[in-house]
Chains A and B, each alone.
Chain A
Amino acid sequence: MALFSPSPPTTLFTLSSKAHLSTKTQLTLFLRKSQSLVLLRSAGDNGAGSVGSASVVEEKLEKKEEAQKSNLGLKEEEEQGLGANGVSLKGEASSSFKDPRWVKGNWDLKQFEKNGSTDWDAVIDAEARRRKWLQETPEASSNDEPVVFDSSIIPWWAWIKRYHLPEAELLNGRAAMIGFFMAYFVDSLTGVGLVDQMGNFFCKTLLFIAVSGVLLIRKNEDIETLKKLLDETTFYDKQWQATWQEDDSTGAKKNKT
């Protein structure tokens, strides 16, 4: 089993016993294709880009050991993957999404009619159900029956009616309460009346903060999410800036020493 020889003994045992049958066929296949095992095994390393590919067996061997140390997990995966695949890709039978209203990759809107007009709520329900199904059991895409349903055919008012109204009520109510309390608070502290506050820049800013706050922070978790978002947006910048910062820090170190 030349294929497994560089693995540490523990994994060697489990791997070869697990993948015994299929690797046999695998080996014959590769031999027939006249590809050397060494080349196959080291396909994962790509450090040899600048070197002639035929002449680097020694390098490959070294690399192999290196790679073994650094990402052993990956290698194992590769081998197991090979074993599990078998030789040819056969389509396994799996149940696909079925609904009498789902016809040729689209929702048959005629079947959604209620009192002469399309019942969009039902369409949304049906599509949600389909997506959930697909999330749980992903399906092969097909050229013969492409999915043509596009959620943009559902008119905007159907969405608004369904989602926006309850949410909007909550937000408007909250904004009104906060706004009233703030106006009261400012008035009681400074004696500036509600009408005068409207003409005041500081109060306008407060109002703006209150409204955007209500919009952005709808639940307590939102604060965490926003923080994370901020970190995330600057993370890549930091990674890129590293080159230039390092310059400064080494410069500083050199000055010290």
Chain B
Amino acid sequence: MISPSNVGVDIGRTLKPHEYIGMVRRDEVLDAYLRERAAEAGATVINGLFLKMDKPEARSGGRYKIYYNHYEKGSVNGEKREMEVDAVIGADGANSRVAKSIGAGDYDYAIAFQERVKIPDSKMEYYKDLAEMYVGDDVSPDFYGWVFPKCDHVAVGTGTVTHKSEIKQFQAATRLRARDKIEGGKIIRVEAHPIPEHPRPRRVLDRVALVGDAAGYVTKCSGEGIYFAAKSGRMCAEAIVEGSENGTRMINEADLRTYLKKFDQTYWPTYKVLDILQKVFYRSNPAREAFVQMCADEYVQKMTFDSYLYKRVVPGNPLDDLKLAVNTIGSLVRANALKNEMSKVAL
């Protein structure tokens, strides 16, 4: 992690040998794996593209009719088909059509812009098992810029909610900050994704539920979504299985609401803590300096990774917590003092 004044800290030192931070390097691969596993467990996998659906009268217990384009393996042309189902789980990403069809409402979103850059092998060596995060006003006013390794190339990018129109500048700044490390790279692909900032106002309607990005489960601060997407999907499925008593009775909205309740109860603290972290530490350059200083602390790293890997916000040792609080406030005060000084300095 690299601060606005280019102080870098390595935040993987406390990881034990069996622990590692996974990153989705190729989402297609993960998707295929999950699909195959579902098929093995007895699901019928249909390769189709959801177009729209007809809702039965509210609470009537009728079936949903969904229209989709069916694709055979390897063919490019879809065939229009329809099918009747009892319940729909929308897991179709940030631009979800299922969400649109139940009027789930919008969320604020951040845009993440990234360039996939093929860099020389000698430079790639450095990124073999590390990713970089850059923070600073130049890179993003409310998020971070990153260099993530992806198999044989790196992704250089940045994101923002508040200054979407200036994303290009931020991208240039990110590239500049990583300049020496990606020199000689070739851009092979440019991508932009919306990242949900908070859950949609409506995540369940009758027998339709949303999970993952479609529902808006992306954490602030770290911008992580895959874990919560998988987890919410699982919770939702479990709620359906439980509610239908293994398929013997029809479910209703209340059953799906139990999934929402469970999810919110389990993960709300995690989301809230990350939101607070983002608000406190991504606020300004001095705050970011303090954040990076804080991250250099071993105790912080241990706590962060515990909560990251095991997805619980764990209370720590009170004495260490107190020390941490004092140190953090110290860092913040120092950084702000320097900022005040900066306004007086003429270059």
Would you list which residues of chain A between 65 and 101 have a CB under 8 Å from chain B?
66, 71, 73-74, 77-78, 80-82, 84-85, 87-92, 94
Which interface residue of B2, B271, B275 has the most chain A CB atoms within 10 A?
A: B275
In the complex, identify which listed stretch (B12-20, B195-203, B235-243, B309-317) lies at the interface while the others stay far away: B195-203
Query: Which listed residue (A44, A140, A152) contacts B180, Cβ 8 A?
Result: A140
B28 touches A77 (CB 8 A): no
Which residues does chain B contribute within 8 Å of A43, judged by CB atoms?
189-192
Does A57 count as interface, using CB distance less than 8 angstroms? yes
B202 touches A47 (CB 8 A): no
Which residues does chain B contribute within 8 Å of A147, judged by CB atoms?
5-8
Chosen A-B contacts, 20 in total, with CB atoms closer than 8 Å, are: A44-B193, A46-B94, A49-B213, A51-B47, A52-B47, A58-B49, A58-B78, A78-B190, A124-B337, A128-B341, A132-B345, A132-B347, A133-B347, A138-B4, A141-B6, A150-B293, A152-B293, A152-B330, A236-B272, A247-B257
Cα of A246 to Cα of B253 in the assembled complex, Å: 14
B168 touches A80 (CB 8 A): yes
Which residues does chain A contribute within 8 Å of B117, judged by CB atoms?
89
Known A50-B91, A50-B92, A131-B5: A239·B198 in contact at CB below 8 Å: yes
Known A43-B190, A45-B95, A243-B201: A131·B338 in contact at CB below 8 Å: yes
Does A135 count as interface, using CB distance less than 8 angstroms? yes
Min CB–CB distance B129 → chain A (angstroms) = 15
Closest to B7 in A: A147
Cα of A61 to Cα of B197 in the assembled complex, Å: 27
Chain B 154-174 interface mask (CB, 8 Å, partner A; 1/0)? 000000000011011001010
Cα of A77 to Cα of B271 in the assembled complex, Å: 31
Known pairs A91-B183, A243-B202; list 12 more (Cβ under 8 Å). A47-B92, A50-B92, A59-B69, A66-B95, A89-B185, A135-B285, A140-B178, A141-B2, A141-B180, A156-B330, A159-B333, A163-B340
A240 touches B198 (CB 8 A): yes
Closest to B94 in A: A46
Chain B 107-118 interface mask (CB, 8 Å, partner A; 1/0)? 110010101010
Cα of A85 to Cα of B167 in the assembled complex, Å: 14
Does A151 count as interface, using CB distance less than 8 angstroms? yes
Closest to A236 in B: B275
Would you list which residues of chain A between 124 and 155 have a CB under 8 Å from chain B?
124-125, 127-136, 138-144, 146-152, 154
Cα of A132 to Cα of B137 in the assembled complex, Å: 12
Cα of A138 to Cα of B28 in the assembled complex, Å: 36
In this complex, how many residues of chain B approach chain A with their Cβ under 8 Å: the count is 104
Min CB–CB distance B223 → chain A (angstroms) = 14
Which residues does chain A contribute within 8 Å of B218, judged by CB atoms?
none
Does B302 count as interface, using CB distance less than 8 angstroms? no
Known A47-B92, A91-B183, A240-B199: A73·B293 in contact at CB below 8 Å: no
Min CB–CB distance B308 → chain A (angstroms) = 20
Known A51-B48, A131-B338: A88·B176 in contact at CB below 8 Å: no
Closest to A144 in B: B180
A-B contact count (CB 8 A): 241
Known A55-B75, A150-B293, A236-B272: A243·B285 in contact at CB below 8 Å: no
Chain A 233-246 interface mask (CB, 8 Å, partner B; 1/0)? 10011011011001
Which residues does chain B contribute within 8 Å of A154, judged by CB atoms?
334
Which residues does chain A contribute within 8 Å of B264, judged by CB atoms?
240, 243
Known A138-B176, A159-B337, A239-B199: A50·B6 in contact at CB below 8 Å: no
Closest to B286 in A: A131
Cα of A138 to Cα of B199 in the assembled complex, Å: 35
Chain B 270-283 interface mask (CB, 8 Å, partner A; 1/0)? 01100110010000
Which residues does chain A contribute within 8 Å of B341, judged by CB atoms?
124-125, 128
Closest to A127 in B: B338
Query: Which listed residue (B184, B190, B191, B338) contacts A88, Cβ 8 A?
Result: B184
Does A28 count as interface, using CB distance less than 8 angstroms? no
Does B83 count as interface, using CB distance less than 8 angstroms? no
Which residues does chain A contribute within 8 Å of B337, judged by CB atoms?
124, 159, 162-163
Which interface residue of A33, A46, A152, A163 has the most chain B CB atoms within 10 A?
A: A46
Min CB–CB distance B319 → chain A (angstroms) = 20
Query: Which listed residue (A85, A91, A139) contacts B115, Cβ 8 A?
Result: A85
Does A217 count as interface, using CB distance less than 8 angstroms? no
Query: Which listed residue (A52, A55, A81, A135) contacts B4, Cβ 8 A?
Result: A135
Which residues does chain B contribute within 8 Å of A91, judged by CB atoms?
179-180, 183
Which residues does chain B contribute within 8 Å of A139, judged by CB atoms?
6, 176-177
Does B148 count as interface, using CB distance less than 8 angstroms? no
Min CB–CB distance B149 → chain A (angstroms) = 15
A243 touches B185 (CB 8 A): no
A55 touches B94 (CB 8 A): no
B47 touches A55 (CB 8 A): yes
